[in-house]
């Protein structure tokens, strides 16, 4: 009965992870969301093996409570943690400090809080895998070649955070992995003209490193 805890599960890529993983009744899913009342798409998934837990990843106490609930349900262990929750808002050149801190608080510090909250359970699990969804934007080479906009600094820090955990816990048999999902359209609404222009610019930039790039994927 593999067990998974996943963050940012109310929508986007992680909702799809939960949908696909919960289709196998052998999996036990713990879906962490920031706000249960707005996680309606998650609630409507048919799997009976999904427990929805509420925790903002910047709140270590809330994460500790969520980890206790997981522990009670699994007998004190967890096999997989998928860190997906992230903040991605447009850069704010008028207030660089706020721009940095907002993104680092969620994407970097919040990811560390999640790993720390579930570490003891993962140590008792039989798989010991922690997947963190990062971004190609966090790669220096990609950044220089494409000038992609966005939250890349906090994702570069996430990549180093993951490397630090990987080094610290490799003797215990852990795999810590940061991976990029590619370019995924997670928006539910029809794009505005401004969003379409931004998308086309984005597309042109990605073509610089991936000449065969055909556009975004669905989750």
Q: Name the residue nearer to ligand NAP (CB basis): 71 or 180.
A: 180
Stretch that binds ligand NAP, among 18-26, 117-125, 183-191, 198-206 (CB under 6 A): 183-191
Residues 121-140 that bind ligand NAP (CB under 6 A): 133, 135
Beta-bridged to residue 3, according to DSSP, are 28
Report which secondary-structure segment, H or E, holds 131: strand 129-133
Angle between helices 111-124 and 152-169 (to 10 degrees): 30
Which three-class secondary structure string do you get for 159-179? HHHHHHHHHHHHHHCCEEEEE
Determine the size of the site formed for ligand NAP (CB under 6 A).
25
What is the spatial distance between Cα 201 and Cα 118, in angstroms, rounded to a whole number? 39
Q: Among 80, 113, 155, 165, which one carries the catalytic annotation? A: 155
Residues 47-106 that bind ligand NAP (CB under 6 A): 56-58, 84-88, 106
Residues 158-177 that bind ligand NAP (CB under 6 A): none
Coil, strand or helix at 140: helix
Q: Does the annotation mark 151 as catalytic?
A: yes
Question: Exactly one of 43, 102, 180, 213 binds ligand NAP (CB under 6 A); which one?
Answer: 180
Q: Alpha carbon of 3 to those of 88, 102, 169: distances in Å?
A: 28, 31, 20
Cβ–Cβ < 8 Å for 34, 7:
no
Q: Among 77, 151, 165, 170, which one carries the catalytic annotation? A: 151
Give CA 76 to chain center in angstroms. 23
State the DSSP code for 184: B
Question: Exactly one of 34, 103, 128, 153 binds ligand NAP (CB under 6 A); which one?
Answer: 34
Question: Exactly one of 119, 129, 186, 203 binds ligand NAP (CB under 6 A); which one?
Answer: 186
Pair of tokens at residue 104: 């680092």
Angle between helices 60-74 and 111-124 (to 10 degrees): 20
Site membership for ligand NAP, residue 12 (CB under 6 A): yes
Q: Name the residue nearer to ligand NAP (CB basis): 123 or 180.
A: 180
Q: Name the residue nearer to ligand NAP (CB basis): 163 or 173.
A: 163
Q: Does the annotation mark 77 as catalytic?
A: no
Q: State the minimum distance, in angstroms, from the CB of residue 156 to ligand NAP.
A: 12
Pair of tokens at residue 157: 């820090």
Q: State the minimum distance, in angstroms, from the CB of residue 183 to ligand NAP.
A: 5
Supply the residues annotated as catalytic.
151, 155
The footprint of ligand NAP (CB under 6 A) covers 7-8, 10-13, 34-35, 56-58, 84-88, 106, 110, 133, 135, 180-181, 183-184, 186
């Amino acid at each position: 009965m593999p067990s998974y805890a996943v963050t940012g599960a109310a929508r986007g890529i992680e909702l799809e992870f939960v949908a696909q993983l919960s289709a196998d009744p052998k999996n036990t899913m713990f879906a962490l969301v920031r706000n249960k009342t707005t996680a309606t798409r998650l609630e409507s998934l048919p799997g009976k093996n999904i427990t929805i837990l509420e925790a903002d990843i910047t709140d270590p106490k809330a994460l500790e409570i969520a980890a206790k609930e997981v522990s009670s349900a699994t007998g004190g262990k967890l096999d997989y943690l998928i860190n997906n929750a992230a903040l991605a808002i447009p850069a704010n050149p008028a207030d660089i400090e706020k721009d940095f801190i907002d993104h680092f608080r969620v994407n970097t510090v919040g990811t560390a809080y999640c790993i720390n909250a579930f570490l003891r359970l993962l140590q008792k699990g039989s798989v010991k895998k922690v997947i963190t969804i990062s971004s190609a934007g966090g790669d220096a080479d990609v950044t220089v070649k494409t000038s992609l906009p966005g939250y890349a600094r906090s994702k570069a820090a996430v990549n180093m955070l993951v490397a630090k955990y990987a080094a610290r816990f490799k003797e215990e048999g852990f795999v810590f992995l940061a991976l990029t999902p590619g370019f995924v359209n997670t928006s539910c609404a029809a794009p505005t003209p401004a969003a379409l222009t931004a998308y086309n610019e984005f597309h042109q930039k990605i073509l610089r490193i991936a000449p065969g790039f055909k556009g975004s994927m669905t989750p």
